[in-house]
Structure 1
Amino acid sequence: MRSTETERMLRLRDVARLPAEVLVKRFEEDFGNLVTAAVADATRRLPAPVRRLLDGLEWHLDWADALVWAEGELQVSAERMTLLGDPRLRRVEGQLRQVRVRLHEARCVAADYRRQDRERLEQGRLLTARATALSWLSKAFPDEYAALFAARVAELGIPPLRRHTASRDVFDSIEQAVAQGRLQVEAGPEVRALLELPDDTFRAAVADDVREQNARNVLLRHPLVLRRWHAGLARLCALTVGPARASSATALGRLPVDLAELPRQEAMQIINARRFFCAVQQRRLDCDRTVRALMAEIVRRERADPVNTARREAGAHARLRLAEAHPEAYARIREELRAYESEPGHLDPARLTSDARGALKVRLLAELGGGGGEDPAPRPPVAQPSPPPRPAPRPKPGTPESRPGRDRPGPGQARGPRPVPGPPARTAAGHPPLRKAACRRAEPSR
């Protein structure tokens, strides 16, 4: 048995010589293999296919998960080596620095994928000049649009919109989706028994899951258990932050005491508490990932619902009728948007940024009336009498309130908006609804 486990465990020097397809099998066998590959990627030069595997669409979240685990393990190991005078300390500290750099890059990659998801959603709605102009026109004439939409809904016989109870948090949204059948999951006897456990017993089950990387409790990832799992992990952090001498409930931080001055048993207890604290933090990320995946699935299913599809089509029909009723207003919006087109009819998101879009929309809606009814006729300008010239003020001695300073900038001292650099451009076809590798790894071992 021991030899089989040894054969399954990767070593740092093995990662570079194994092809990507073999590494995937090893990752699915043991989470520790993924951690080893993540450390090797941070500290060594790996082939391009292996790097593309780790930061690719399917594995990038697992890669970040493994880096979080590796960071905690390396930091606690460095602290233990400092206590014991281990000569490997310098090498481990170097690995820790490199892993932290790579972890920052992994978080940027994940943010980049999320940004691409948002852009793909907008491309189907508001990144064409026609769709944007029709949308803004419905905001300029809301009463007319509402009447046209209601008439189209009645004509098609679309059932009324289902009213949901307002959600207090994401867990409410998930539980409502289960109750209304938008998430097809079953609450079997094992799930119900888990939910009925006392708080202390449930927290012990959460702690057992934290300690077992390769035998994760799949029941904790059930949609109806997520709220309690999240609360149990938060409670474990609160209970461990003191014994671990952590800087906060969300970050381990530097060790504030000199372990060498403490009795050996007390020092090792702090080391073990810090290792457990890091494992809990990694599980909290796992919980957040599960919640995000379920919320994305709920949104996808809502958009694919036939009633919602019919209502979107009714809205598109109403906007077209509105454009026929107000051709000058529609042409005015299209004319203003033409300066932001990369090609005829297609808006350039680099030009029409969110700030530019908001400012242009507010200005156009104000000029078009900002409400229902016909376009208001322009009023002739009224001549205003010019005020009499004011005498020039006498010079006064400067006061602290009138002098430019940190709180009151003077002429030329105002700061302009800083450019925000974005993540590097990446391509992705689309996220799978639920990632197979994570589900397989979550199955309990027999």
Structure 2
Amino acid sequence: MTLRDRPLTNHHRGRITRYLDIRFALPIPAQNDPKERRRAPVLTGPGLRIERVPDQKPWRLPLSDMADVISASFVDLVKVVIAESCGVERTGLIDLLYGRDRICESIDALTYGLHDLQLRKEEHIRAGQEEDPVIKQWDDQANNVRRRLNEANAELKRQRLTELNRYGLVPSNTTPTDDPIRFAKGLLGDFLRDERAALMAQAATAAGLSPRASVQVSNQLEKIHWCIERGLLKAPVTPEVSTVLDLDDARFRLRVLQDAGRQQGRDDALCHPLVLHRWQDQLEALRKHLAADAQNPSHQALVPLSRTTAQRSQPDIAARRRLFASLVQRTNENSRLKQTLFDSTTIAERCDPEHEALMQFVQPTYEELVRRHPDLFRLIREMTAPHETRYGRFIGCDPWERRSLRKEIINRLRQHQEAKTTH
């Protein structure tokens, strides 16, 4: 997937998000949707409609026809990626499936195919057909699909790193700083966020920059709003998106379940940048709620049932496990969309002409905060001292430990400020 020479377009068998206009204010050119070309004609008779039957062996079609078919049909895409992972070779097939414009689609299809093979095997065992030779065939296919899925995820990571390096950026999962001074200044700026924002705005105004350039964001959701307001992110709030944003928890949960219940034509509104985080939270809650009923020991991934458990399970377990598998699949899709959105907003911010000018005021702002609040900075340094080596560096940089330390320091700073206010 490239963010440079074309609009950002993610295809998820019918789900298309196009929110970043990398030309910044130029209109995105219209693209032909293969689903529109393949729309079934409506007949005059009551209730009659022609539906396209999925191709039995779509991997044998000419490559151009195959591209149209897998763009219109998720079932055909699953067949093609499974066939390719099991040894089918065609000139241009790898580029078609795992190029930058379709790799997320193919990963989604591979995830579904892997889950489907596992669930079909469990249903066969539950029906007393554990000696059926087709089970061995499904196991071999599942091993091939799992291997290809791992390779595709590695390729997606490589493509992402290449794109970020093109802009001089680094991934978000880099090792935290081991410099306690830098950590303390950053934490002080986070605690005194309003004052930090005022200092940045004052410096930006003095330098002739726009007021919006100095707006400080503390989380990804605020960054999305900031990019939309500045025109760096193309994410119009359509009436459909407004409806989703106004839903209460119960109705939003129902909408998420309805989306998870179908593979073709998913709910595009859930992909909107302002909905992604709520969608993620609801998916996690649903997985935790359903894991026990689906006899799945983990809420993170679909765990195969043992042969004995599959034989003794109730008939309705199949539906619960298939729904759980769909929720895991949607969670993976949500993670990829969030990662793409994060990269897009970061690249858009870096390409903003005022970005470099604004960055020169960051360090002076933190130094001014330290000068104004020496007691708070001293308190932070006292709490970080036990975690430092004799050479003045952090002992380890585990993200979870660092997050816990930040939370502890923030609570202590609040108590210190409250004590000063009461006195």
Instruction: Give TM-score scaled by structure 2 length.
Output: 0.60
Q: Against the structure 1 CA distance between its residues 188 and 121, is the aligned structure 2 distance closer, same or farther, given a 3 Å change threshold? A: closer
The one of 46, 52, 55 aligned to 1:10: 55
Structure 2 partner of 1:98 = 144
Matched, 1:39 2:82: yes
On the 8 A contact 1:31/1:213 being kept in 2, the answer is yes
Give 1:37-436 correspondences, 5 Å limit. Answer: 37-86=80-129, 87=132, 88-122=134-168, 157-159=208-210, 162-168=213-219, 170-256=220-306, 258-259=308-309, 261-262=311-312, 267-308=314-355
On the 8 A contact 2:288/2:299 being kept in 1, the answer is yes
> What amino acid does structure 1 have at the position aligned with 2:125?
T
Structure 2 partner of 1:131 = none
Structure 2 partner of 1:393 = none
> Following the alignment from structure 1 to structure 2, what is the Cα–Cα distance between the partners of residues 245 and 108?
30
Deviation at 1:54, TM superposition (A): 1.2
Deviation at 1:64, TM superposition (A): 1.1
Deviation at 1:178, TM superposition (A): 3.1
> Following the alignment from structure 1 to structure 2, what is the Cα–Cα distance between the partners of residues 294 and 205?
22
Q: Against the structure 1 CA distance between its residues 59 and 220, is the aligned structure 2 distance closer, same or farther, given a 3 Å change threshold? A: same
Deviation at 1:62, TM superposition (A): 1.2
Q: Against the structure 1 CA distance between its residues 161 and 111, is the aligned structure 2 distance closer, same or farther, given a 3 Å change threshold? A: same
Deviation at 1:66, TM superposition (A): 0.8
> What amino acid does structure 2 have at the position aligned with 1:108?
A
> Following the alignment from structure 1 to structure 2, what is the Cα–Cα distance between the partners of residues 188 and 29?
24
> Following the alignment from structure 1 to structure 2, what is the Cα–Cα distance between the partners of residues 120 and 188?
33
> Following the alignment from structure 1 to structure 2, what is the Cα–Cα distance between the partners of residues 82 and 159?
66
Number of residue pairs the alignment of both structures matches? 281
User: Radius of gyration: which is bigger?
Assistant: 1
> Following the alignment from structure 1 to structure 2, what is the Cα–Cα distance between the partners of residues 58 and 209?
23
Q: Is the partner of 2:273 in helix, strand or coil?
A: coil
> Following the alignment from structure 1 to structure 2, what is the Cα–Cα distance between the partners of residues 41 and 98?
9
Q: Against the structure 1 CA distance between its residues 311 and 202, is the aligned structure 2 distance closer, same or farther, given a 3 Å change threshold? A: closer
Q: Against the structure 1 CA distance between its residues 256 and 58, is the aligned structure 2 distance closer, same or farther, given a 3 Å change threshold? A: same
> Following the alignment from structure 1 to structure 2, what is the Cα–Cα distance between the partners of residues 172 and 247?
35
> Following the alignment from structure 2 to structure 1, what is the Cα–Cα distance between the partners of residues 127 and 329?
26
On the 8 A contact 1:35/1:67 being kept in 2, the answer is yes
> What amino acid does structure 2 have at the position aligned with 1:77?
R
On the 8 A contact 1:171/1:226 being kept in 2, the answer is no
> Following the alignment from structure 1 to structure 2, what is the Cα–Cα distance between the partners of residues 159 and 204?
43
- Name stretches of at least 5 consecutive residues in structure 1 with no aligned partner: 125-152, 316-446
> Following the alignment from structure 2 to structure 1, what is the Cα–Cα distance between the partners of residues 124 and 332?
27
- Name stretches of at least 5 consecutive residues in structure 2 with no aligned partner: 1-39, 41-47, 171-203, 362-423
> Following the alignment from structure 1 to structure 2, what is the Cα–Cα distance between the partners of residues 171 and 107?
26
Name the Cα RMSD after superposition: 3.1
Deviation at 1:154, TM superposition (A): 9.8
Q: Is the partner of 2:118 in helix, strand or coil?
A: helix
User: CA-to-partner distance for each residue in 1:121-171, whole Å, 9 max, x for gaps?
Assistant: 3399xxxxxxxxxxxxxxxxxxxxxxxxxxxx9998445783334423x33
Deviation at 1:181, TM superposition (A): 4.4
Deviation at 1:311, TM superposition (A): 5.6
User: CA-to-partner distance for each residue in 1:328-352, whole Å, 9 max, x for gaps?
Assistant: xxxxxxxxxxxxxxxxxxxxxxxxx
> What amino acid does structure 1 have at the position aligned with 2:74?
F
Deviation at 1:283, TM superposition (A): 0.8
> Following the alignment from structure 2 to structure 1, what is the Cα–Cα distance between the partners of residues 235 and 138?
45
Deviation at 1:257, TM superposition (A): 7.1
Higher RCO by CA contacts (8 Å cutoff, separation 6 or greater): 1
> What amino acid does structure 2 have at the position aligned with 1:162?
A
> What amino acid does structure 2 have at the position aligned with 1:104?
N
Q: Is the partner of 1:162 in helix, strand or coil?
A: helix
> Following the alignment from structure 1 to structure 2, what is the Cα–Cα distance between the partners of residues 160 and 180?
11
Q: Is the partner of 2:89 in helix, strand or coil?
A: coil
Identity within the alignment, %: 27
User: CA-to-partner distance for each residue in 1:84-138, whole Å, 9 max, x for gaps?
Assistant: 24422121111111111111111111121122123323399xxxxxxxxxxxxxx
> What amino acid does structure 2 have at the position aligned with 1:236?
L
Q: Against the structure 1 CA distance between its residues 122 and 165, is the aligned structure 2 distance closer, same or farther, given a 3 Å change threshold? A: closer
Question: After the TM superposition, which of the residue ranges 290-299 and 56-65 deviates more from structure 2?
Answer: 290-299
On the 8 A contact 1:10/1:36 being kept in 2, the answer is no
> What amino acid does structure 2 have at the position aligned with 1:30?
S
